[in-house]
Chain A
Amino acid sequence: MTTTIERTALPTIGISLQYSHTIGRAEFSGPGFRNPTAMARAEDDVMYVASRSYDYRPDGKRITMCTVGEEFISEFAKGVFEQGDGEPVATDGAIIWPTAITIGPNGNVYLADEYLDRISIYSPEGEYLTKWERSGDGDGQWNKPSGLVFGRDGVLYLVDCNNHRIQMLSADGEYIGQWGELGSGPGQFNMPFGIETDAAGNVYVADWRNDRIQKFTADGKFLMAFGETGDGPGQFNRPTDVAVDRDGAIYVADWNNDRMQAFHPDGSFAGMTYGQATISQWGIGKLEANPEMWEERKIAQGLDREKLFWGPIAVECDDEGRIFVVETARSRIQVFQKQTPLFYGVNERVAGGGGRL
C-alpha cells in the first residue's frame, strides 16, 4: 500500500515565519495600548510601545513598558497636556503625536513627536531626562520627525518627514550631516516615515509617499530601492516602516494594504502576511471580566476579521528572530518567529563553515 501526501500550499512567507502570539488590547491606561504608533525592543525582553490615543482622550497618550511575554511593567510620558480651545499645553516629557521610539546605546529611550517637533529622552525606567525641540528646515532642525534609529558607531538617524530628508545626529543631539530632498529619484524622498539600520550599518528608509524602500550606506550613499505603488507582491500603498533582521531579511509595514511584506536582502520579494492575530493574554483577562462577550463571540459573524492586520504602522525585529507588527487600528502587536533552518550548507556565522546550529 502506498501512502500519498497531498500537495498543499506552501507557507505564505517565503522567508519562513511562524505566528507566535499577540500582545495588547485597547485601553487608555494600564495593560494595553490605544492607537499605538511605534515600539522598540530593549534588553531582557522589555519593550516600549508609544500610544497616540484619540486626540480628545489625551489620557491615553503614553509609553507603555512591558515584556514580550505580556508582563505589564509601567507607563510614562502620559496625560500631561490639556486640550482646550487653544493650543495644547505640552509639558516636558509629554507626548502628543508620537511617531517613533528607539533605544540609545546607553539604554535610554528616544521618542519622536511630530506635533511638537520634539525628541524626548527618557531613562530606561521612564524618567524624563531632556528634549530637543527644533522646528525648522535648517541643519539640526526638523519638520515633523517621523523615524528614529541608532546606527553603528552610535549615530542617530532622524527622518525629517516634511523636509524630505534624513539627518544624522550624535546621541547628544549635535548635528552631523544629512541627505535627501523632495523628489522621486534615487536618494530623494516624499514624506519619508520609518527607518532602520542593519548589522553592516546600512540604512533603510520607508519612502512613504513614493511607495518604496530605499537603502543607503551609513553616510547616505544610495545603494538600492525597491517597490512601487500597488497592491501586488512587492508593491506598496504607503509603507510606514521597515525592519531588518540579523540575516538581512527586510520587513515592511505596508500600511494602506493592511499587510506586512518580507524581502530578501537584495530587495526581491519573499512573501507576505495579512495577519494571524489571536486573543492576547491581556485580552483574555478583559473577556473574563466581561463574560457575556465570550458568549457574543460564539455567535459573532465574520470573527475571522479579527486575525487581520488593521493599520499596520510599525515593524520591528529583535535578536531572537522575532518580528513585531504594531497595528494602530487594533491596539495590539502581532509577533512572528522567524524559522531558522536547522542545518546550513554554508554558514559564515559558525566557525568552520556549515553544520548544525
Chain B
Amino acid sequence: MPTNQEIAQMAHLMRRAGFGATYAELEQRAADGYEATVEELLNPTAQPDLEMDILERHFVDWREMNALEVNQAYWTYRMINTQRPLQEKVALFWHGILCTGNSKCEHGRQIQLQLDMFRELGMGNFDILLKGLSRDPAMVFYLDNCMSHKGSINENWGRELLELFAMGVGMDGHANYSEDDVKEAARAFTGWTITNAIPRYPYGRYESGFIYNPYDHDEEDKTFLGETGNFNGDDIVEIICRQPSAARFVSRHLYNFFVADEVQVPAWQNTPPRDPEAIALLEQTYFDSGYNLTAMLRVLFNSDFFKNARFEKVKSPTEVVIGTMRLVQDFTAPKLGLQPLANTIRYMGQDLMNPPTVEGWHTGAEWIDSGTLVERINFAADQVGNTSLPGIQEIVSRLDSEQVTGPDAIVDRCLELVGAYELAPETRDQLVAYAGGNGAPAPGTPEYSEAIAQTLQLIVSTQEYQFA
C-alpha cells in the first residue's frame, strides 16, 4: 500500500510528465515504484497507441485532418486518452518552441504531420530532431525557406533556427551568434524547399512534400560560428548542436516546461538560470548522451530538483483542460462536443496549432489574467460538479466506501483524490467552513454526492489548483 507521500510524488510526476492521472492510476503507479514509472514513461512505444481505426470510423473527418478545428479536436482527444502521456507531453513541449501556426499554413493536416514528427523524434537526439524540422513542409512554408534562393536569401528560417529553435540570442551575458551567422546559415539552407501545392478545390488539399533543389543551393563556402566550408543545411545543424549554447537552450527549456517556471526566453541572455546546478547537470547529460532527450529527461525526473518542485509551475491552458478531463474521465470514447472542449483551451489563451507568433506562448504567470482565470475556474468547476461523470462518481464512491464524514475529513480526502493538492491553511479553513455548512449528509445519499461535488468545485477554484 503506497504511502501518502508516495502518492503525492507520483501525482507530481504524472502532472509534469503527462496530464495528470486518476487516484486509482496513481495508486497503481506508486505501487510499481517511482523509477519504474519514469522508465515506462520514457519508453512510450511499449504502450499501445490509440485505436485509430475505431476513432476514424466515428470521426470520419480525422482521415483528412483538413481544418484547424478538426486538428484541435483530434489532439485534445489524444491527450485525454493516450497511454503514452510523456510522448504527448513532449509533442506539446516542442510545439511551443519549434512553432508553426495555422495562420500561415497551406493545409491544416501539415501541422498534424509535424506533431507526428515530434512524437517520433521528440525524445531522441536533438540534432536528428532539428534535421527533421528543417525538412518539415509546414516549417519550410511558415518561415519562408521556400522563398530563400541562391543569391537571394530569405533569412527567416536561418534566424529563427538560431534564435528560437536551437541556441537563443545569448547566455551568461554574451551573444550566441552574429548577424553574419544568420546570413550564412540561410545560405546553407538554400534549395531546401517544398512541392507546389494542389489547390483546395474541388476535392480538398493534399500535404506538400519536402524537396531539395540542388540547382538553387549556394555551393560557395560559408563561415558559420567560426567554421568554414561548403556547408549544407545538415552541416549547420551539426555545428549548432556542438555549441554550449545549444546545451543551455535545451536544458533551460526542459527546466521551464517540466520543472519550474523560468523568466521568459528573451531574458535568458542576461538572466541566469533559476537553478544553475540543475541546468549544469542537464547540459552535461546533453553532451554525454550525444544530445539525447530521453537521457536528459531521465536525469531530470529522477533528480531532487524535480521532486522538490511540486506546484512550482502555473498550469498551461492545455494542462488545465486535459488534466481536468482525465480527472473526471469524460471523452474516453467518441462522441460530439470535442471541438467545444478544444475551444476552451483557446479561450484560456492557448490556441493550439496556432500560436500568436513564432516565439510561441509566454508561459508561467503570463498565462493568467482576469479573463483567463475566470475561464479556468468556470471550466474546472463545471466539470467536477457534474456527478454523472465517471471520474467524479469514482471519487464519491471511494469516499462513500471509506465512510468519510465531517467537513475536515471530506476536504482533506478530496484534496488527495484530485491529485494530492495542498492548500494554504486559511484557504483550507474556508473550504472546511463551507463544507460544514452542508450539514452532515450520510454516505450513500444524494446529498452526500452533492456535498462532495461542491467541495471539489471549491478545490478547483483555488489558486493552488492553477499550479502543477
Contact = CB atoms under 8 A, between A and B. Distances in A.
B201 A300 contact: no
Given A35-B61, A208-B57, A330-B64, 10 more contacts: A54-B70, A85-B340, A86-B337, A114-B58, A287-B202, A296-B199, A297-B198, A300-B198, A305-B206, A313-B60
B198 A303 contact: yes
Nearest to A34: B61
B209 A310 contact: no
Contacts of B209: 301-302
Which of A25, A85, A114, A280 has the most CB atoms of chain B within a 10 A radius of its CB? A85
Nearest to B341: A85
A279 to B, nearest CB: 6
Given A115-B336, A282-B202, A306-B203, A55 B197 contact: no
B304 interface: no
A55 B59 contact: yes
Contacts of B338: 55
Nearest to A55: B336
A51 B70 CA distance: 16
A208 B206 CA distance: 27
B277 interface: no
Contacts of A329: 60, 63-64, 204
Given A238-B57, A256-B53, A328 B63 contact: yes
Chain B interface, DSSP helix/strand/loop, else mixed: loop
A88 B339 CA distance: 13
B433 interface: no
B58 A302 contact: no
A55 B57 CA distance: 13
B198 A283 contact: no
B49 to A, nearest CB: 15
Contacts of A328: 60, 63-64
The 6 closest A-B pairs by CB, nearest first: A283-B202, A301-B195, A25-B202, A293-B199, A56-B339, A329-B64
A280 B202 CA distance: 8
A9 interface: no
A330 to B, nearest CB: 5
A301 B337 CA distance: 37
A295 to B, nearest CB: 9
Interface string B43-61: 0000000000110011111
Contact of B336 (A83, A299, A305): A83
A88 B199 CA distance: 34
Interface string A75-104: 000000001111110000000110000000
11 contacts: A25-B201, A25-B202, A83-B339, A115-B335, A240-B57, A277-B203, A280-B202, A283-B203, A305-B206, A328-B60, A329-B64
Contacts of B200: 293
A62 to B, nearest CB: 15
A164 interface: no
B196 interface: yes
A54 B67 contact: yes
Contacts of A87: 336-337
A86 to B, nearest CB: 8
B199 A85 contact: no
B336 A54 contact: no
A25 B200 CA distance: 10
